[in-house]
Amino acid sequence: MRLSSRLSLTQQNALLLVVFFLVFELLVASAVTYFLMLPMARRSAADLAGLMTLSAQTWSELPPVTRPAFEIELARSHALALRAEPPQDAAPPSWREPYLRFLAASLSARVGEPVAASREEIQGTDWFWVSLPAGSGRLSVGFPHSRIGPRPVHALLASLAGGALLTLLAAWWLARRATRPLQRLQQAVTSLGRGQTPERLPETGPREIAALSRRFNEMAKQVDDLLAARTVLLAGVSHDLRTPLARLRLAVEMLVKKPSAELAAQVEGDIEAMDRLIGDVLTLARGFGHEASQRVALPDLLADLVRAIPGAAERVQVAAPAIELEVPVGALRRILANLLENALRYGGGQPVSLRAEVLEDGCRIGVLDRGPGIPEADREAVFRPFYRLEASRSVSTGGSGLGLAIVRQLAEAHGWRVSLQARPGGGLEVWLEIAPLPVG
C-alpha cells in the first residue's frame, strides 16, 4: 500500500470516535426505546383505545338531540370525531407508526373482534378511522394524524444524524489537537535530519507529549553542542598544532645543517606534545564507552594515583576514610589524574590536598590547591574545549585546554558531578561528587 493512501492519525482517530459514538448511541437508543418508549406507547394506545370505545358507547346511549354537543366537546377536548356513516373514499392506513399498531391491537382486545382501520384525507389532513360497535349498530371513530405527538423513529433518526455530525466535528478537533504536537515533532525531526537547527518544541500539553518534547529538546541541544564542540575541536587542534609544527620545521632545518642532541630532544618533545594533544582530541571526540564497575578501596586508589604521577608524591597530601566504592575505576582514575595534573601545574609550587568525604547519598573527592584560582565568571567556561585563562593558566604554562573538558564529559557519562569553588585562604577546590553509595 502506498504511504500517501493511508489514513492519517487524525483521520483514524476521528473515524474511530465516530464509529464508537454511533454504536454507543444505537445501544442507548435501543435501550430507551425498548424499556421506555414502547411501554409508554402501549399504555398511551390503551388509554386512547379506552377513550374511543367509551366515547362510541356513550354516543350511542345519548339522546339524538345531545349528540351534536357531545361530538363538539369530544373534538375540542380530545381531538376525536364521531359519525355514523363510514368514511368516504377510505383507503388502508399507510402510516407506519408503532403507536397505531398498538392502538389497533388494544381496540381489538377491548371489543373482542378484529377492528378494521382505514385512512381518509379531509381538507389536506390524513385521518385515522376505526369502526366500533355502538349499541345495536356501528360507529366510526377517528382522529387526525397530527394527534400522534411523539414519534420515536423520527426522534431516533434525528438524534443519530445530529450526534454523528457533532461527533465528527468533535472527533476531528480532538484528533487535530492530539496530533498537532506530533506534526511539530515530525517537522523538527526533519529539520534536524537535514542538518538544520530546529526550533525548540513547547513542553506543554499531556504528560506524555510534554515528556517527548522535552526529550527532543534535550537531544537537539546535545546535537548542537556536539556540532559546536566538533567545530571547536577542529579549530583548536589546527591552531595548537601550528606552533610545534613550526618549531619542528625550524629544528629539522637546523639539524640538517648542524646536528645537535639538544635540537633532537626538542624535536622529540614537540612530537610527544603533538601526540598527547591528538590523543586528548580523539578521546574527547569519541566520547567514552561503558566501563564495568569494580569494587575498589578508595585510599589505595588515591595512593596509587599519586605514585603514578611524576612529582606528585612530594607535594600531594592524601586524606581519605577507609571506604570502598563500586565504580568504573578507569574513568575515576582519568578524572582524578587530570585534576591532579592541573593542580600541580597551576598550584604555584604549593602543596596539593587530595581529600575524600562521605556524603549522605554518596561521597565526594576533592583536589585542593593554593594557586591563583579561577574567577567565578569563568568556572563554567573552563570546561569548554581549548578554553584557557589569560593569567598563569595560559598556554605558556603548558596544557592543551582539554583536561577539564575530558573531566566534565567523563563525569556526565557516569552520572557524576564536577564543581569548582574558591578555597578559603586562596586557591581552588575541585570536587567530584559520586552518586552511588560507598560499599563496605
Q: What is the CATH number of the domain that holds 412?
A: 3.30.565.10
User: At 300, is the pLDDT very low, low, confident or very high (cuts 50, 70, 90)?
Assistant: very high
Q: Give the C-alpha separation, 274 to 268, whole Å.
A: 10
Give mean pLDDT, residues 282-291: 58
d(C-alpha 12, C-alpha 341), whole Å: 62
CA distance 192 to 37: 61
Residue 186 counted as domain residue:
no
Output the pTM of the full model: 0.47
Q: pLDDT tens across 94-118, in order?
A: 656 677 888 888 988 988 888 888 8
Separation of alpha carbons 25 and 28, rounded Å: 5
Q: How far apart are CA 192 and CA 212, in angstroms?
A: 16
Mean pLDDT of the chain: 79
Give the contacts of 440 (CB within 8 A, at least 6 positions apart). Answer: 295, 323, 324
> In terms of pLDDT, which residue wins out, 47 or 218?
47
Question: Do 147 and 12 share a domain, yes or no?
Answer: yes
The whole domain housing 216 covers 207-269
Which of these three, 238, 269, 300, is where a domain ends? 269
pLDDT at res. 204: 77
Considering the domain boundaries, does residue 198 fall inside one? no
* Percent over 70 (pLDDT), the chain: 81
Same domain as 307, residue 411 = yes
- The verdict on 141 and 245 lying in the same domain is no
Identify the band that residue 367 occupies on the pLDDT scale cut at 50, 70 and 90: very high
Which pLDDT value is given to residue 393? 41
Are residue 8 and residue 142 in the same domain, yes or no?
yes
My answer on whether 310 and 358 are in the same domain is yes
Per-residue pLDDT tens for 218-242? Answer: 888 777 766 666 666 566 566 566 6
- Are residues 307 and 424 both part of a single domain? yes
Query: Do residues 342 and 212 both lie within one domain?
Result: no
In a domain? residue 44:
yes
Residues 394 and 308 reside in one and the same domain: yes
199 located within any domain = no
Ordered DSSP codes for 106-143: HHHHHHTSPPPEEEEEETTEEEEEEEEEETTEEEEEEE
**Domain count within the chain:** 3
Least confident of 15-19, 356-360, 412-416: 15-19
Is the domain of 405 the same as that of 302? yes
Q: How confident is the model at residue 408, as a pLDDT?
A: 86
